[in-house]
Structure 1
């Protein structure tokens, strides 16, 4: 048997955390001395603590690790591994986009360009759009996690043999912007109705009169398009009657410079 101190050194984890693992039922000592409450661990538990450490490296939560350990069929592990693959892939794409944008900014600065100055011109149109059938997922999340919502919707599309019939859209419901708690809905047009029995479901994205424009550039500068549309709507005697949404025409999947991303921005409107 190993004392908790010895097991702590073997597992490269603090005794405080081992006590926490015991409390939540993640890994319990094989024997607790009833007289002094000293904890002892067996040799076979070494593989358990090493497995927990490995799953932590994969960025699983302790609750997820407990689910994995309790499911002897490994189905939970398969599902959560795929989830983590999708999450990390999206993170890599997001960070690669930022890296490319940073490099471009450095090059432009070397040329003497003002990287903060905008040279964009916006062409604003008003159209009566048709209703769209979409598979959607709405959640309150940090803005950086939009890609994870998109991934979940696509997983349900592929798992249930739905056909994608248009570009990805994100609807923004917040009246006041909160980067860490944004009320966002991801919508992807599909070919037929489908109910998963969860919060991911098909619904009709209402059409009607919309003012819209195309924005070319990195997502973190798309506020320019929002400002132009808001001003145009006011000046032309319209009013906004619903949540705006972005439609992604060209993005990270194109492996292009973020300055070449194309996003269409839509505002539902009516005449005053």
Structure 2
């Protein structure tokens, strides 16, 4: 058997953390001396502490690691591994986009360009849109987790043999934007109604909308929002609902962020 100090060195984990693991039931000593409360661990527990260390490298929480270890069928591990694959893949896409923007900024600065000066012009259009049947998920999440919502919707689409009938859209419900706690709904148009215990279709109302097309990285899409907001005010209209983005061309197109195409819509009425 190993003392807690020896097990700490073997597992590269502090004795303080081992005591915490014991407290939360993640990995308990095989024997505790009733006289002095010294903790002892067995050889077979080495694989457990090494597994915990590996799962922490994979960015799992201690609660998730506990679920994985308790599920001997490995079903929880499969599910959570796929979740991390999706999450990290999304992070890689985002970081690649940021890297591209940084490299573009460096090149522009070397040419003497003003990287803060916008060269975009916007065509503003107003249309009466038709209602759309959508499958959607609404949640209050970090903007970085939008891809997870999209993935969950597509999973339900494939499981229920629905047909995708349009582009992915994201509706923004907050009056004040909070990147880390945004009230958003991801929507995908589908061909028929569906209602389960977890997700169901609804109708995205049409009606009068003003919209424009934005070409460029998502971090700069505020220009389109500003143009539409100004147009609405100048033309004596008012916003009557949550705006939404429709993704025409994005990371899945394997193009650079400055080639992304997003349509921005505001529902309006005459004042």
TM range (shorter): over 0.9
- Number of positions where the alignment pairs a residue of Structure 1 with one of Structure 2: 271
Deviation for aligned residue 1:155: 2.3
Aligned counterparts of 2:89 and 2:158: Cα–Cα separation in 1: 17
Aligned counterparts of 1:220 and 1:132: Cα–Cα separation in 2: 28
Deviation for aligned residue 1:111: 1.8
Q: Does 1:235 align with 2:234?
A: yes
Deviation for aligned residue 1:157: 2.0
Deviation for aligned residue 1:124: 0.7
Q: Does 1:111 align with 2:124?
A: no
- Cα RMSD of the aligned pairs, angstroms, is 1.2
SS at match of 1:115: coil
Aligned counterparts of 2:226 and 2:172: Cα–Cα separation in 1: 15
User: Superposed, which structure 2 residues align to 1:207-246 within 5 Å?
Assistant: 207-246=206-245
Aligned counterparts of 2:159 and 2:77: Cα–Cα separation in 1: 18
Deviation for aligned residue 1:161: 2.5
Deviation for aligned residue 1:86: 1.0
Give the TM-score taking structure 2 as reference length.
0.97
Aligned counterparts of 1:185 and 1:133: Cα–Cα separation in 2: 14
Q: Does 1:203 align with 2:185?
A: no
SS at match of 2:43: coil
Deviation for aligned residue 1:24: 1.0
Name the residue aligned to 1:147: 147
Name the residue aligned to 2:258: 259
Name the residue aligned to 2:29: 29
User: Superposed, which structure 2 residues align to 1:47-196 within 5 Å?
Assistant: 47-196=47-196
Deviation for aligned residue 1:156: 2.2
Aligned counterparts of 1:56 and 1:15: Cα–Cα separation in 2: 17
Aligned counterparts of 1:169 and 1:252: Cα–Cα separation in 2: 15
Q: What's the CA shift string for 1:184-225, capped at 9, x where partnerless?
A: 111111222222312x33211111111100001111111111
Aligned counterparts of 1:156 and 1:33: Cα–Cα separation in 2: 52
Name the residue aligned to 1:13: 13
SS at match of 1:85: helix
Aligned counterparts of 2:16 and 2:192: Cα–Cα separation in 1: 53
Aligned counterparts of 2:10 and 2:23: Cα–Cα separation in 1: 20
SS at match of 1:248: strand
Q: What's the CA shift string for 1:219-244, capped at 9, x where partnerless?
A: 11111110110110111111100000
Deviation for aligned residue 1:143: 1.8
SS at match of 2:36: coil
Q: What's the CA shift string for 1:43-96, capped at 9, x where partnerless?
A: 000001111111111111111111111111111111111111111111111111
Give the TM-score taking structure 1 as reference length.
0.96
